[in-house]
Structures are given as structure tokens and as C-alpha cells.
Chains A and B, each alone.
Chain A
Amino acid sequence: MNYDERLQNVTVLGAAGKMGSGILLLTAVEMADLSLKPENKGKTFCLNAMDVSQQGLAGLMRYLKDQVRKVAEKKTVLLRHLYEDRADLIENEDVIDEYVFDVMNIVRPVTTIESAFDSNLVFEAIIENEDLKTKIFSQIHQNNPDAWFFTNTSSIPIHILDEKAGLNGNILGFHFYNPPAVQRLVELITIDANSDEMVEFAKAYAKNLRKVVVPSNDKAGFIGNGHFMRDALHGIHEAEQLANEMPLVEAIYMVNKVSQDYLVRPMGIFQLIDYVGIDVVRFIMNVMNPHLPNEDLHSDLLDKLFDMGIKGGQNSDGSQKDGFLKYERGKPVAVFNPETSEYVDISGMQARIDGLLGELPASWNPWKKVNFSRGGKDAMLEKYFSELRSMNSLGAQLAKKYITRSNEIGDYLVTSGVASTKEDVNTVMLTGFYHAFGPINEYLK
């Protein structure tokens, strides 16, 4: 079965979810492009968008239509060539409308698992639950033994899913980052039992989606969450330590600022936890923990907030829900106090805490400026860190400790065999988390 044939019948499980909808969009567009190739004329392409929520599927079809239109508007020059022989499609609008129809016409919103019994490829983006995943895979496999499973799990080892569901190596980890349509990173987790054909297909598919593929070994959490979860725990512990000397809300604000400004990151660690979702972070730690006998990836503070219903994550319109921090127009304005269940305004503490941290190095620039400076990024970071190294303010101390910990985590991911190379670790953090510099670096040495 060649590449095009493999993609003639595909199912996305959990298609109405945040990850599933992105995977569905990318796959639908790729399949439609294949269907428009002259050699594929007359062949039927079918993409089952499977989800248990009817309401979710209705929303998905609306999302899909809007997004496909945007895709079409961006590649109209190409589409005019693809539809060259269609005399009835003259204006851009004709061509775009037809393309939207052709993509939508491939997608079948379904609620039953049986739809996947005819699929050659099954993407899985359901809830991060080992038993549920295993059950569904095994059910499909029993009825469709040749299907390949690409799971989007971000934490469960692939070989465990393979063994439990009895898939004979017909599964690999194809881990998109959120949102899949925008984020260029894909972590590819293969296991020994995979066929070469399957791995080659996965690489070709990622390439056609213009993704950056980083291979990760089959260890719980892989590279991305392997770093993020430990990095987050460092931030949480640091805030808890500081809370011996100041109110917790102020400590949280302080660590969030250090991890954003001093570390030149797009957002502070507490904002990132909120972005991913306190519930999701906690859940991933719980999934990873049993596979890590020498570590304890767990935070009482996360449990506490979760139990109080403070979960972060995003609203359906993409706006940020309140978590550790409260947001107005996407910007943090207050910090949650678990003792009183109230948010405390940042404006009241900002000047004092910033004063305690001390001045940022004179050569400091915000993440946006550093990360998108054409060609000048390395020099900017070099200068910044040479200054930071010699500084002894509280801000500089916390930053150096944070950077050192991030470095340790990065090294550990390589030595423990999660990543094959330090470059892979850095690529994941640079591409998937938009860090301005990789965790494994020499800046403080």
C-alpha cells in the first residue's frame, strides 16, 4: 500500500477535541490535495471524524469549514493550477469555494467506533487514559488487523499501548503540539516492533504537513513533557520555598516573572501551566509517575487547585481561562490565593516584588524581540547572559537556579535515553515551546 492508498481511508478518534480538530484539519487538507492529483481522479477519499459528542462534531464542522477556507485563501495561486481543467471555476472565489467543498466532502462526522474498521490509518487524540485507549485500539484491531495507529499521547509509553492492545507493532507515537495546525513540532515515537514502512510513512506524512520531526524514545512523557513537567515542578517548588518569607501569591508572581523575563520565554511558568491546563498538567504527571520509579512527579499545590475547581485551559473561543493567574485580554492581572479562594491584584504587589528582584540586566530584551531578531539572537543572548552571570540580585539568583535546573533536566533526558541527542531536546523546546534558547547550553558556564 503506497502513501496515497494509505491515506484513502483514515479515522481521527477524538476529532472534536482541541488536538483532534487540528489533526483532522491537517489530514483533511492533505487528503484533499492527494485526491486532486490527476492520478487519483475518480478515487474516493474518506476521513472519519469520530467523536462521542454530537455537539462537539457540529462545532468541529464549523471550525473545519472556516479553517479550510483560510487555508484555501492562502494557497489560491496553487489551487488555480490544480483546478486548471475546470472551465467552470474562473474566479478565485469559485476556486476557493470548490476547494472548501472538496475538503469537507472527504470528512464524515461519526459517533461510532465501527467507522474505523475500514480505515488504513487511525489517529488517536482522545483523553489521556491508558485503559480507554487500549480498549478502543484493541476493538478496532480485532476488526481491522491491518490498520495503523498513530497516537497523540503525550505521556504514555507506546510499547505499553502496543502490548496491552495486542497491536503487533502497528502503533507509533505521533505527538502534535497545541495547536496542531500552527505548531510546527511533531515528536515521533517509534518502537522496535514498528515496520520500516510505517515509520517511513509517518516521516513522509509529517514532511507533507511541513512539520519539524524530532524523534523521541519511548519513555513516559517523551521529550516535551519530560522537560515541561519537571520544569513546572521546579517553578512550583521555588514559589513554595519563597512563600516561607512572603505570601504565596507574591511568590507565584515572582517566579512567573523570573521564568518569563529573566529566562526570555514567551510566558512565565505559571501562565504556561494555566495555558496547558492545571488539570491536564496534573493528569500528565499522574500518567508519567508510575513509569518513573526514581522520581515523584507530583504537586500538592496542583491537586489543591484542581480540587477547588481552578483548572485554567482555554475557552472554546481560544481565550484563556483563569488558573494560577487571572487574565484580562490574555494578560495576567491577578494571582489566585488558595487560602482565601480569591484572586489578588498584581498591580498591588508588582512594584514591591519587582524591587525585591532588582533590575534586569541592562542588555535584557523581551522574548519577542530576541526570538524574532533576524540573525542577531545569539549575540543578544550572549551579551545578556554574560551580564546575568556576574549579577547577584535576587532576580539573577533565581534565574540562574532556574536555568541550571532546566539544563539538568535537558541533560537527564539525554542520559536517561528519552532523547537521543541534546540537539533533539533543544529542538523540541525551541520549536514546541518557543523558547529563545535550548535548555542544554553553555550560557552560565
Chain B
Amino acid sequence: MSKLRRKVYMTAGYNTVSMGTGRSEFNPKKARPGLEHYIKEAGQGTLAKIGGAKNVDEGAIGNFMAARFNKQGHLAGFIPYIDEELQYKPCIRTEGACASGALSLVAGMKSVLAETADVVLTIGVEVQNTMKAIYGADVLAGAGWFQKRKNGHAYFFPGQFSDRAKAYYEKYGMEYARKGMKQWFINAVENARLCPTAQEYENKVDDLGGLYDKMTPNGKAFVDSLNVLDCSKVSDGASAIAIMSEEGLERCGIPKDQAVQIVGYAQVERNITNDPPDKTELTAIKKAVKQALDMAGITKDDLATAEIHDCFSIAGILTTEALGFAEPGKGAEFVANKNTARDGIIPMNTTGGLIGWGHPTGGTGVHQAVTIWEQLTGNAGEAQINIKPEKPYGMTINMGGDDVTVVAIVYKRGDF
């Protein structure tokens, strides 16, 4: 399909707080709200903006590993828990590791495209702080091929991306690469400080670069080629957004300037049993980005902002290259020169991304869509960037596993 055969919009985004270390209200020793709380809060947040649950035709919920983090499966059943009026409506749960959230967006979009629904309530959720990080690493390792777990690192995914970072260091130089990764981290925290729901919102460290430099990667304590600041957060959180047809917007009384239109998207799957063909490249992301931009009929230069799946700072650098903003090996320099900062050539992750805002794994894809919706419709509050009329597009890239499940979506403001 080279063009979408029906207009698809997203609107009424809502994010809960991304809860975890960094938030002053987070105390790992005290009881905290569970999965249900986050689903309900996010769902109700969106419903309040679209005239209530009576306007909803279907529900979709993305989640990665509630079955292990919370001993809870069957998450679609929690959609009617959000509101009485959702009872008996069709609901679906999607799973594609950390791209579970974007898969729920895709499911919602497909329902609208198939004309089985005009309004789909879409949610992404994960509640991960139910266990210590060392056990959480086991759960998250499920995003890889289990046959490789035995020989993998204790912190499996940090280990995978540490290997990618190491390959990048070997090819282009470690000091050079880490300058870019450091700037990625600085941007993430500085942007998060502008977003009250962000996990790093209250971060008060003056010298972020100095802090980063002090933390030399140490394979004995963690992984060989990354420090903890290179990593995304362990988060509890949910996000919700409504996916609508034009009829849906009308039904809910949403003006088009308060919605974003989906003008292109791609969903790509790479064989999970294969190692990446080249550790210094994200080939699935590259493919998805190209397909999505082609469908939208635009180039990367038309993008006003992008939400990148920076589960690790190195993934941020590699995605910058996969997007074509920098040649292979030049991504670190591109980022170090602040081209991805909020006032740079292509502002990325304007509320902090996975490193600054947080990474409730199954929620992230929806959170990215909410952020782009906020930016393009002027709802980003203090984090608002300037969207120029000649560049009205935004993009999200949500990745599951090590470049295995990828969803790229291109948005533009609904009235443009």
C-alpha cells in the first residue's frame, strides 16, 4: 500500500507520570499503584478529551511483559475497566517487546482503515518497578531470542547495545563516539526538565557532562561499553491517544488543528534468531524510516521533530544515521554538535525520550505519538518547540528488541 486509503488522525493524547528512580515520590520500599491504576488514569485522561467512552468504537492496548512484571496476562480485559461504557466493545492487546505500544497504534489505525471503527482508544502500559533491576533484566531479555540468553550478559539488553557501542568505538573511535553519546544524555535530561511527567523532571545536576565523564563504563559492575547514564529508565507508566477517522473527529467534536494526521507509516519485522548483520547499523529502522517517509511523500528534511527509540544513547546515535541525518560514523558528531537538541536542525525527543522522560517499555510507542501530537498541535507546554509551517511533519520510531520489531509513523498537523 503506497498511500493510506482513508484519512487517519490521532488526538487527545495523555501521559501518566513516568514513575521510577529520579521521581521524588518514588520509594522502592513502599507500595505503589499497579498496572490497573496506570491503564485507568491514561484511558480516562484521553476519554475526558473526546467526550467520553460512548464515542469509542474499539480499544487497543500495547504491553510487553505484564505476565512477568505483574503476573498479569489478558490485558485487553482492562480496557472496559477504564469506563463502564467500554463494556462489551471489541478490544485487543498487542505485544512486540518495546514496540508493543506502536503495535497498538498500528492495530488502531488498521481498524480505522478497515472502516470497522471511527474512534479507537489506544493505550500503552508497563509497570516494571515490581522487581529489582537484576531480575527485570531477565524479563526484558524476553525481547531477544531465549536460545541466546544463556550466553548473554546478566543485563542482557544493555549487553547487546554495549556490543553495538563497542563495534562503533572500534570502527570510529571511542572518545569520538562518547562525545556524541554524552550530548545525547545531556539533551535528554535538559528536555525532561521541561516536562512535568518526565522521570528526570526534577533532575538538578548542574554539570551533566561532567557527571557523564566521571562514569567510565565498567564491565565488572555493569557492561563493558556503556554506563548507566547511557541507558533508558526503568519506569512505570502509561500513555493513551485516540485514533480517529474524519467521522470520528466530527463525532467527538475535535477540530482538525487539535489532531495530527497520519500520512505514512511502516511496520518492519527482522528475524529474531539472526544477529544484526552489522552491529553499527540499525537496518530494520532504516527500512521502516524509508518506507514511512516514502508513503508520506516527504524526506527527512521536512521533519520538524522526531521521537527516537533511545533505549540506549548509542541507539540514538545509530538512529540518527539510519534516518539519514548523518552518514555512517558521523552520527556521534551530528549529535555532539547539538543538531538534535531542541533548537537544532532536527529536535529529537523533546520531552527527554526514553533516557529522560522514561521507558515504560510497552507504553513507549504510544508516549512517542502523544509527544508528537503535543508538539504539532501546540499542546507541549513548557517543552513546546517552534514548529515552522514549511516543516509541519513529525516522526516516531519505536523499536522492539535489538532492531527486530520496528514501527515508524509520519504525522502532520490535521489542518495543514
Chain A interface (Cβ < 8 Å from any Cβ of B): 73, 76-77, 80, 87, 90-93, 96
Q: Tell me whether B154 and A92 are in contact (CB under 8 A).
A: yes
CA distance A78 to B148 in the complex (A): 18
Q: Whole-angstrom distance from the CB of B401 to the nearest CB of chain A?
A: 17
26 A-B contact pairs sorted by A residue (CB < 8 Å): A73-B132, A73-B134, A76-B134, A76-B154, A77-B153, A77-B154, A77-B219, A77-B221, A77-B222, A80-B153, A80-B154, A87-B150, A90-B146, A90-B149, A90-B150, A91-B138, A91-B141, A91-B149, A92-B134, A92-B135, A92-B137, A92-B138, A92-B154, A93-B135, A93-B138, A96-B134
Chain A residues with CB under 8 Å of B220's CB are: 77
Chain A residue nearest to B138 in the complex (CB)? A91
Chain B residue nearest to A374 in the complex (CB)? B214
Chain B residues with CB under 8 Å of A91's CB are: 138, 141, 149
CA distance A90 to B138 in the complex (A): 9
Chain B residues with CB under 8 Å of A87's CB are: 150
Chain B interface (Cβ < 8 Å from any Cβ of A): 132, 134-135, 137-138, 141, 146, 149-150, 153-154, 219-222
Q: Whole-angstrom distance from the CB of B197 to the nearest CB of chain A?
A: 30
CA distance A91 to B132 in the complex (A): 14
Q: Whole-angstrom distance from the CB of B36 to the nearest CB of chain A?
A: 25
Q: Whole-angstrom distance from the CB of A379 to the nearest CB of chain B?
A: 20
Q: Nearest 3 pairs between A and B by C-beta?
A: A91-B138, A76-B154, A77-B154
Q: Whole-angstrom distance from the CB of A380 to the nearest CB of chain B?
A: 20
Chain B residues with CB under 8 Å of A92's CB are: 134-135, 137-138, 154
Q: Whole-angstrom distance from the CB of A232 to the nearest CB of chain B?
A: 34
CA distance A80 to B150 in the complex (A): 9
Q: Whole-angstrom distance from the CB of A276 to the nearest CB of chain B?
A: 27
**Residue among A77, A80, A92, A96 with the highest chain B CB neighbour number at 10 A:** A92
CA distance A76 to B152 in the complex (A): 12
CA distance A173 to B150 in the complex (A): 44
Q: Whole-angstrom distance from the CB of B143 to the nearest CB of chain A?
A: 14
Chain B residues with CB under 8 Å of A77's CB are: 153-154, 219-222
Further 12 A-B residue pairs, CB within 8 A, beyond A77-B222, A92-B134? A73-B132, A73-B134, A77-B153, A77-B221, A80-B154, A87-B150, A90-B149, A91-B138, A92-B138, A93-B135, A93-B138, A96-B134
**Residue among B154, B219, B220, B221 with the highest chain A CB neighbour number at 10 A:** B154
Chain B residue nearest to A88 in the complex (CB)? B150
CA distance A80 to B221 in the complex (A): 13
Chain A residues with CB under 8 Å of B149's CB are: 90-91
**Residue among B137, B138, B146 with the highest chain A CB neighbour number at 10 A:** B138
Q: Whole-angstrom distance from the CB of B291 to the nearest CB of chain A?
A: 36
Q: Whole-angstrom distance from the CB of B148 to the nearest CB of chain A?
A: 10
Chain A residues with CB under 8 Å of B150's CB are: 87, 90
Chain A residues with CB under 8 Å of B222's CB are: 77
Chain B residues with CB under 8 Å of A93's CB are: 135, 138
**Residue among B146, B149, B150 with the highest chain A CB neighbour number at 10 A:** B150
Chain B residues with CB under 8 Å of A96's CB are: 134
Chain B residue nearest to A78 in the complex (CB)? B220
Chain A residues with CB under 8 Å of B221's CB are: 77
CA distance A76 to B134 in the complex (A): 8
CA distance A388 to B221 in the complex (A): 42
Q: Whole-angstrom distance from the CB of B207 to the nearest CB of chain A?
A: 14
Chain A residues with CB under 8 Å of B141's CB are: 91
CA distance A77 to B219 in the complex (A): 9
Chain B residues with CB under 8 Å of A80's CB are: 153-154
CA distance A93 to B156 in the complex (A): 13
CA distance A92 to B220 in the complex (A): 16
Chain B residue nearest to A94 in the complex (CB)? B138
